[in-house]
A and B are shown apart, each in its own frame.
Chain A
Amino acid sequence: MLKRRSFVRASLASGVIALAAASGSLLSFTAQAAQPIKIGFSMALTGGLAGAGKAALIAMELWRDDVNKKGGLLGRPVEFVYYDDATNPATVPGIYTKLLSVDKVDLVVSSYGTNEIAPAMPIVMRNKLVFPSLFGLAVNDEFHYDRYFQIMPAGPEPKLDWSRGFFELAAEQKPKPQTVAIVAADAEFPLAAAAGARKNAQAKGFKIVYDKTYPPSTTDYTPIVRAIQATNPDIVFVASYPPDSVGMVKAAHEVGLKAKMFGGGMVGLQFAAIQKNLGPLLDNIVNYDFWAPEPTLNFPGVNEFLKRYQEAAKGKGVDPLGHYLPPYAYAYLQVLEQSVDAVKSFDQAKLAAYMHRTTFKTVVGDVKFGKNGEWAKSRVLMVQFRDVQPDNLEQFAGPGKRIVVYPKEWKSGDVVYPYKK
Chain B
Amino acid sequence: MWSVDLFANAIVAGLLLGGFYAAVSIGLAIAFGQLDIVNIAHPAFVIVGSYTAYIINRHFGLDPVLIGILFTPVFFLVGAAIYRVYYVAFERTGQESLSGLAFFFGLMFIIEVLLIMAYGVDYRLVSAGYIGRTINIGFVGIPFRMLVPFAVAAALTVGVYLYLSRTFTGRAILAVAQDRLALQLMGADPVKIKQFAFGLAIATTAIAGSLLIIIGPVEPSVGRQYIGRVFAIVVLGGMGSIPGMAIAALILGVVETLVGTFMGPSWSPAVSFGVLLLTLALRPSGLFGRK
Partners in one complex: yes
* Residues of A that sit less than 8 Å from B by CB: 46-48, 50-51, 54, 186, 212-215, 217-220, 222-224, 226-227, 230-231, 242-243, 246-247, 250-251, 253-256, 268, 271, 273-274, 277, 281, 316-319, 391
A391 to B266, CA, bound (A): 33
B257 within 8 A of A: yes
Determine if A220 and B122 form an interchain contact, defined as CB atoms under 8 angstroms apart.
Answer: no
Cα(A17)–Cα(B6), bound, Å: 95
User: In the assembled complex, which residues on chain A have CB atoms less than 8 Å from the CB atom of B216?
Assistant: 219, 243, 246-247, 250
Q: Is the CB of A217 within 8 A of B225?
A: yes
B125 within 8 A of A: yes
Secondary structure class of chain B's binding surface, majority of residues: helix
Interface pair A222/B143, CB less than 8 Å apart: yes
Contacts of B9 in A (CB 8 A): 222-223, 226
Given A226-B10, A243-B123, A250-B132, the answer on whether A47 and B221 have CB atoms closer than 8 Å is: yes
Beyond A246-B216, A391-B127, whether A220 also contacts B257 by CB under 8 A is yes
Beyond A51-B121, A243-B217, A243-B222, list 13 extra A-B contacts (CB 8 Å). Answer: A46-B113, A51-B122, A213-B265, A222-B141, A223-B10, A226-B261, A230-B1, A243-B123, A246-B125, A250-B143, A271-B122, A281-B132, A391-B127
Check if A317 sits within 8 Å of B122, measured CB to CB.
yes
Q: Return the chain A residue nearest B117 by Cβ.
A: A317
Residue of A nearest to B10 (CB): A223
- Tell me if A223 and B261 are in contact (CB < 8 A): yes
Chain B residues in 8 Å Cβ range of A226: 6, 9-10, 13, 141, 261
Known: A230-B3, A253-B132, A254-B132. A220 touches B215 (CB 8 A): yes
Q: Is B134 located at the chain interface by the 8 A CB criterion?
A: yes
Query: Whose C-beta in chain A lies nearest to the C-beta of B228?
Result: A217
Question: What residues of A have a CB within 8 angstroms of the CB of B131 in the complex?
Answer: 250
Please judge, given known A-B contacts A46-B116, A47-B221, A255-B141, whether A277 and B125 are in contact too, CB under 8 Å: yes
Q: How far is the CA of A54 from the CA of B6 in the complex (A)?
A: 42
Tell whether, in the assembled complex, residue B265 and residue A54 are in contact, meaning their CB atoms are under 8 Å apart: no
Q: Which residues of B contact A273 (CB under 8 A)?
A: 122-125
In the assembled complex, 18 residue pairs joining A and B whose CB atoms fall closer than 8 Å, in A order, are A46-B113, A46-B116, A46-B121, A50-B116, A215-B269, A222-B141, A223-B14, A224-B261, A226-B6, A226-B10, A227-B261, A243-B123, A246-B123, A250-B145, A256-B141, A271-B122, A273-B123, A274-B123
Complex alpha-carbon distance, A247 and B217, angstroms = 8
Determine how close the nearest CB of chain A comes to the CB of B220; give it in whole angstroms: 9
Which residues from 112 to 169 on chain B have a C-beta closer than 8 Å to any C-beta of chain A?
A: 113, 116, 119-125, 127, 131-134, 141, 143, 145-146
User: Which residue from A222, A268, A274, A391 sits with its C-beta under 8 Å from B146?
Assistant: A222
Q: Which of B207-237 contact A (CB under 8 A)?
A: 215-217, 219, 221-222, 225
Complex contact A218–B123 (CB within 8 A): no
Find out whether the CB atom of B265 lies under 8 angstroms from the CB atom of A214: yes
Quick check: A213 and B10 within 8 Å, CB to CB?
A: no
How far apart sit A409 and B217, CA to CA, in the bound complex (Å)? 35
**How far is it, in angstroms, between the C-alpha of A293 and the C-alpha of B150 when the chains are bound?**
41
Interface centre among A54, A218, A319 (most CB of B within 10 A): A218
**Residues 2-16 of chain B: 1 if any A CB is under 8 Å from the residue's CB, otherwise 0?**
010010011001101
A208 to B: closest C-beta gap in Å = 14
Whether the Cβ atoms of A227 and B262 lie closer than 8 Å is yes
Q: How far is the CB of A300 from chain B (nearest CB, A)?
A: 29
How far, in angstroms, from A219 to B214 measured CA to CA in the complex? Answer: 11
Known: A51-B121, A227-B6, A274-B217. A215 touches B143 (CB 8 A): no
Residues of B within 8 A of A246 (CB): 123, 125, 216-217
- Does B260 interact with chain A (Cβ within 8 Å)? yes
Question: Given the complex, which residues of A lie within 8 Å of B122, measured CB to CB?
Answer: 51, 271, 273, 317-319
Contacts of B264 in A (CB 8 A): 212-213
Give complex CA distance A222, B261 in Å.
Answer: 10
What are the residues of chain B within 8 A of A319 when measuring CB–CB? 122
B76 within 8 A of A: no
With an 8 A cutoff between CB atoms, is B17 at the interface?
A: yes
Residues of A within 8 A of B225 (CB): 217
Q: Known contacts A212-B265, A247-B216: does B257 contact A316 (CB below 8 Å)?
A: no
A376-B109 Cα distance, complex, nearest whole Å: 44
Q: Is B268 an interface residue (CB 8 A)?
A: yes
Chain A residues with CB under 8 Å of B119's CB are 317
Q: B120: which A residues are within 8 A, CB to CB?
A: 51, 54, 316-318
Shortest B233–chain A CB gap in Å is: 13
- List A contacts of B127 (CB < 8 A): 277, 391
Chain A residue at smallest Cβ distance from B16: A220
User: Which 5 interchain pairs have the tightest Cβ spacing?
Assistant: A317-B120, A214-B265, A217-B225, A254-B143, A50-B121
Residues of B within 8 A of A54 (CB): 120-121
The reply to whether the CB of B45 lies closer than 8 angstroms to some CB of chain A is no
Q: What residues on A are CB-neighbors of B124 within 8 Å?
A: 273
B1 proximity list for chain A (CB < 8 A): 230-231
**How far apart are the CA atoms of A255 and B6 in the complex, in Å?**
12
Q: Which residue from chain B places its CB closest to the CB of A47 in the assembled complex?
A: B221
